[in-house]
């Protein structure tokens, strides 16, 4: 029903906006809660057992994270008398809140729910989960001052490594995208303490790249790497561009995805964190491997061309192809 859909999407936007606009922990928590409650019916709308399972997993993790956040902020109010987000001073609630937000966005080692949940959703809802749902927790992470840098660096590095290693073994595209998401979030959190503007830049470029990747897979109607082998016959022009999108996600120059990684490594080197920058750069190679694998499956293997319908791509809907064209162009040539 379009009315219900509109209401839920409005609720999704409202929750994020409330969190953006709040300077009080209770309001921020309320925004996150509205956000979660709005996306749950969207996730379970197909009534498929797998979708319901994914929704349940998502609900439980988000509820746990929200409860942790509320507990930490009340503890902070109890210890310091402050409800203000930017006035956090006590290390205990600070650590707790950082971990709660990490659980909310799926940073390693609190990441295990993300691939499972994403695998159970259709690609459109998965796209919302990998982009829009990250905004509110990130807004809070950016506002918290004086977090112990060790925590953020540990979370970030663990995420880039887990995101790399976890994706190597997957054949399902949505799980690969989930691990890719974890790795990208790791890069963002790595630099959060030293240059928040870089975190925002990385988040923005990640959104653009993920958007085009999800739309490509949606247009192809493919959910596993095997299904990509016949995409030449479905959408030839798109298929020839997709490796560039995937390599941009992997962060190769001269594509857009290289920009945030380059700037982040430069900033880490400026902060005398050369070993950390080296580890992060090496972990990016792991991610690059599985992007290359997908590109290989999609474009460098010739499929047996015995399909009857060779031209479904001529008749694809404009409401899908226009955003796809914009996102793909941005993903390839924004550097």
Q: Is the pLDDT of residue 306 over 60?
A: no
**pLDDT at 305 (0 to 100):** 58
Q: Is the pLDDT of residue 265 over 80?
A: yes
CA–CA dist 64, 240 (Å, integer): 43
**pLDDT at 317 (0 to 100):** 72
Q: Which residue has the tokens 């982040």?
A: 264
Rounded average pLDDT over 52-68? 98
**pLDDT at 164 (0 to 100):** 96
Contacts of 311-318 spanning 24+ positions with Cβ under 8 A: 312/234, 312/235, 313/219, 313/234, 313/235, 313/236, 313/237, 313/238, 316/219, 316/235
Q: Which residue has the tokens 């972990």?
A: 283
The better pLDDT of the pair 1, 131 is held by 131
Q: Is the pLDDT of residue 307 over 80?
A: no
Rounded average pLDDT over 89-108? 96
The better pLDDT of the pair 56, 299 is held by 56
Rounded average pLDDT over 302-330? 71
**pLDDT at 110 (0 to 100):** 96
Is-cis flag, bond preceding 109, omega within 30?
yes
| Neighbouring C-alpha atoms within 13 Å toward the C-beta of 37 | 11
pLDDT per residue over 168-181, tens digit each? 989 999 999 999 99
pLDDT per residue over 99-135, tens digit each? 999 999 999 999 999 999 999 999 999 999 999 999 9
pLDDT per residue over 146-156, tens digit each? 899 999 999 99
Q: Is the pLDDT of residue 313 over 80?
A: no
pLDDT per residue over 180-194, tens digit each? 999 999 999 999 999
**pLDDT at 228 (0 to 100):** 87
- The secondary structure of residue 78, as a DSSP letter, is H
Q: Considering only 43-57, 295-309, 313-327, which range has the smallest mean pLDDT?
A: 295-309
The better pLDDT of the pair 317, 53 is held by 53
Rounded average pLDDT over 199-210? 97
Mean of all residue pLDDT scores within the chain: 93
**pLDDT at 302 (0 to 100):** 65
**pLDDT at 318 (0 to 100):** 75
Rounded average pLDDT over 79-104? 95
Token duo for residue 280: 């992060």
**pLDDT at 299 (0 to 100):** 84
Rounded average pLDDT over 186-207? 96
Rounded average pLDDT over 304-333? 73
Instruction: Say what the pTM is.
Output: 0.94
Q: Is the pLDDT of residue 91 over 80?
A: yes
């Amino acid at each position: 029903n379009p009315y219900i859909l509109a209401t839920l999407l409005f609720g999704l936007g409202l929750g994020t906006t409330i969190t953006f606009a709040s300077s009080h922990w209770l309001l921020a928590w309320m925004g996150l809660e509205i956000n979660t409650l709005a996306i749950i019916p969207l996730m379970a709308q197909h009534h498929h057992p797998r979708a319901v399972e994914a929704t349940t997993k998502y609900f439980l993790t988000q509820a746990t994270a929200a409860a942790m956040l509320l507990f930490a902020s009340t503890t902070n109010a109890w210890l310091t008398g402050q409800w203000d987000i930017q006035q956090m001073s006590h290390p205990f609630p600070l650590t707790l809140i950082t971990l709660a937000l990490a659980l909310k966005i799926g940073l390693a080692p609190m990441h295990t729910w993300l691939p499972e949940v994403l695998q159970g959703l259709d690609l459109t809802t998965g796209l919302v989960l990998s982009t829009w749902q990250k905004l509110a927790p990130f807004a809070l992470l950016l506002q918290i001052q004086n977090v112990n840098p060790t925590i953020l660096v540990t979370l970030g590095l663990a995420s880039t490594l887990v995101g790399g290693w976890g994706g190597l073994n997957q054949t399902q595209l949505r799980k690969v995208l989930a691990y890719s998401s974890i790795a990208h979030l790791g890069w963002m959190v790595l630099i959060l303490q030293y240059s928040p503007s870089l975190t925002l830049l990385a988040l923005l470029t990640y959104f653009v790249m993920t958007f085009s990747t999800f739309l490509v897979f949606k247009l192809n109607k493919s959910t596993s790497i095997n299904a990509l082998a016949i995409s030449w016959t479905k959408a030839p022009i798109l298929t020839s561009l997709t490796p560039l999108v995937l390599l941009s996600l992997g962060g190769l120059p001269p594509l857009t995805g290289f920009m945030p990684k380059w700037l982040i490594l430069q900033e880490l080197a400026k902060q005398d964190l050369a070993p950390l920058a080296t580890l992060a750069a090496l972990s990016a190679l792991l991610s690059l491997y599985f992007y290359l694998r997908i590109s290989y499956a999609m474009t460098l293997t010739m499929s047996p061309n015995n399909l009857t319908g060779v031209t479904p791509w001529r008749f694809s809907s404009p409401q899908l192809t226009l955003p796809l064209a914009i996102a793909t162009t941005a993903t390839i040539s924004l550097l």
